[in-house]
Amino acid sequence: MEQAYRQRLQHCLTRAAALDRRSGALANGRLLFFLAAAGVAVAVTFDRLPGWAWAIAGVCFVAFLVLATLHSRVIEDERRAKVGAELNQRGLDRLAGRWNTFSTRGDAHADPLHLYTPDLDVFGQGSLFQRLDETATKAGENLLASWLKAPAPSVEEIVSRQRAAKELSALTDFRQALLTEARMASDSTLGSARADPSRFIAWVEGPALLAGIRWARPMAWVLPLLTLALGLLAQYDVLAPLYAGLSFFLQIGVAALTWAACSKFYSALTDGHGGFVRYERTFAAVSAQPFTDPRLKALHAKAGASDKLSRFGRIFSFAELRSSGQYHAVINVLLLWDLHWLFRLEDWRVNDGRDVRAWFEALAEFEALAAVGTWVAERPDDCFPVVVEEEAVFEGVGLGHPLLAAPVRNDVKLSRQVWVITGSNMSGKTTLLRAMGLNTVMALAGLPVCARDLRLSMLGPLTSMRVKDSLERGVSYFYAEVQRIKAVLDAAKERRGRALFLLDELLMGTNTRERQIASKRLIEILRDAGAIGAVTTHDLVLTETAGVRNVHFRDDVEHGQMVFDYRLREGVVETTNALKLLEAAGVPL
């Protein structure tokens, strides 16, 4: 992928530079034609040129309009090229390990009381979400985050996500087109605030705001034509001008009586539409891509919105005249403009808009699956896990921490079993717990995992690793730890046979004797609840708990320095490094 990203980045930068030069030329050209049109018009007005020169002014003005239209398209294409360049640069940054500088960290989804996300770095700085997220809409971001906050409801759903992600992993052009067009539509750059169509959906699904003035719709057609006809008849002395004046004043009355309802309707639309018109190209990118996976085919059919969006865009472009101030006031009085186009938008809302929510739900799912597909494409050594219906099994070969650049891999096999992990400080105990937990989260979200092979059941991760006290809540460290353990126990009992607990240094906030007694009992309670998991400890007495399997990490001293190989070994650790570290730091003992 690195070479592909570099080639795409260079192409986008080259195209952006060429479009920038073209934009400058068009800007100069449109200015010249505008000045020429204005100059000729002034010259004719002051009799410096003959009357036929108005034609020259008209031609110059038309040329100005053409160049202005072309210029706007070039500006849009230049921005698209720049978004594409940013997108490929992000890909290179991920491959180079610089993804932890991305601004999209998922902080809004972080919950300190969640049963595993705070301990496993699912959200926040240096998190899985920061590495994974490549969505463009708020709905896509929320859906992806929800997959990480809770396991999929079934094995079938996990397999379905895996298959869809596999197909999308090979469709780099589609993934980048989808994200680029969505970013263009949201008028945002990569990593900034996401477009949120929820307010537009609320308008579409809301009440008929023009129902109270439906009587005025036929009058919008009749009155302007009647006023024009009466005016022409008055011009040729067929009728008195009074009749045309009365018809015109009636138009003014209709415009005044309907002004409040039209303003409310337009305000609701413009407050909510937030770039919705520009999503036409995003949905067009989906429509243009064929798929073979059943899930993607179904989403493809559900997201077929580009034609209807085109129609909405055409109607809305006329309704936008309302934003033109005094110019709009004149046109609206003469033609009852608002009634024509706002009622047509109301028709679109009733007839075509009923599917808007489904469109954006499908788009959000495409975004989330495409983010997983990008992970698959960038990490070919990761494997898709096998998720089984069995109770309480976790068997990983070559398991590593997915967020480390060069993780040390270990084999981890738990089947109705509890591990007690001992070892020195910094030897790798906590990292192993996080590797087990984070790979479980990824597996049950439909992602590949950092392992050569992983087979696991539908396990709900339960962790206690980063317990914090809270001055605001008046909670001490020990009581906060007790609350966390209570939540883990309750969840393990509720998910009997479907829980993976990962506990790091239990009950550090109390004395050694009580800690040892309580920790032993907690392990027994979790085991009796059918949960599997691992506990790290420095209390070697826990290794004597009935029914546990003891494993450890070892350390060595080389040239006065602590050295770790981070390899998991059977049995209880035979060395510790606390005294060695104190001595190395110059503390006299």
160-192 pLDDT, tens per residue? 999 999 999 999 999 999 888 888 776 544 445
Is the Cα dihedral 87, 93, 96, 97 positive or negative? negative
- Asked if 121 and 403 count as a contact pair (C-beta separation under 8 A), the reply is yes
Residue 199 to residue 202: CA distance in whole angstroms: 5
Per-domain boundaries in the chain: 1-96, 198-368, 386-584
pLDDT value at residue 190: 46
Residue 48 reports pLDDT greater than 90: no
CB of 530 closer than 8 Å to CB of 418: no
Exposed, middle or buried: residue 468 (CB in 10 Å: 0-12, 13-18, 19+)? exposed
Q: Which residues contact 227 (CB under 8 A, 6 or more apart)?
A: 244, 247, 248, 251
Mean pLDDT of 373-381: 94
CA distance 459 to 498: 5
Weakest-pLDDT range from 310-324, 341-355, 426-440, 495-509: 310-324
Provide mean pLDDT across the span 131-146: 91
| Protein fold of 386-584 | Rossmann fold (3.40.50)
For residue 188 the two structure tokens come to 């945002």
C-alpha dihedral (404, 408, 414, 417), degrees to nearest 10: -100
Contact 366, 139 (CB under 8 A): no
Instruction: Look up residue 142 and give its two tokens.
Output: 């929320």
Q: Which tokens go with 150? A: 């809770």
Q: How would residue 14 be classed by pLDDT, with cut points 50, 70 and 90?
A: very high
Partners of residue 410 on adjacent β-strands? 399
Percent of the chain predicted with pLDDT > 90: 37
Structure token digits, residue 196: 């949120």
**Token pair for residue 329?**
């006031």
Instruction: Name every residue whose Cβ is closer than 8 Å to that of residue 67 and which is 6 or more positions away in sequence.
Output: 26, 29, 30, 33
Quick check: 554 pLDDT over 90? Answer: no
Distance CA 222, CA 35 (A): 41
Tell me the C-alpha distance between 308 and 232, whole Å: 40
Of the listed ranges 141-145, 327-331, 433-437, 441-445, the one predicted with least confidence: 327-331
Q: Which of 189, 190, 191, 1 is nearest to 92 (CA)?
A: 1
What is the spatial distance between Cα 549 and Cα 417, in angstroms, rounded to a whole number? 7
- Closest alpha carbon to 518 in 529, 500, 503: 503
Per-residue pLDDT tens digits for 189-237: 444 556 677 777 888 888 888 888 999 999 989 998 988 888 888 877 7
Residue 139's nearest CA partner among 337, 308, 302, 360 is 360
Q: Are 115 and 491 in contact (CB under 8 A)?
A: yes
User: What pLDDT does 233 receive?
Assistant: 85
Residue 103 near residue 125, CB atoms below 8 Å:
no
Given a cut of 90, is residue 534 above it in pLDDT?
yes
Instruction: Check: CB of residue 370 under 8 Å from CB of residue 179.
Output: yes
Q: How far is CA 306 from the centre of its chain?
A: 21
Whole-number pLDDT of residue 193:
59
Averaged over 5-24, what is the pLDDT? 93
Is the pLDDT at 581 greater than 70, yes or no? no
Question: Greater confidence, 402 or 69?
Answer: 402
**Sheet of 393-399, strand order:** 386-388, 453-457, 393-399, 410-415
Residues 79-108 have a mean pLDDT of 91
Query: What percent of the chain is predicted at pLDDT more than 70?
Result: 91
Beta bridge partners, 558, equal 561
**Residue 500 dihedral angles phi and psi, to the nearest 5°:** -120, 105
Q: What was the pLDDT predicted at 12?
A: 93
Residue 432 CA, distance from chain mean position:
29
pLDDT at 353: 78
β-strand partners of 393 = 415
Most confident of 243-247, 341-345, 495-499: 341-345
pLDDT in tens, 316-360: 878 877 776 666 787 888 888 889 999 999 998 888 877 888 888
- Is the Cβ–Cβ distance between 554 and 567 less than 8 Å? yes
The pLDDT value recorded for residue 424 is: 82
Report residue 253 as tokens. Answer: 């009355």
Q: What are phi and psi of 469, to 5 degrees?
A: -80, 170
> Would strands 460-464 and 393-399 be described as parallel, antiparallel, or unpaired?
unpaired
Q: Which range has the worst mean pLDDT, 59-73, 111-125, 386-400, 440-454?
A: 59-73
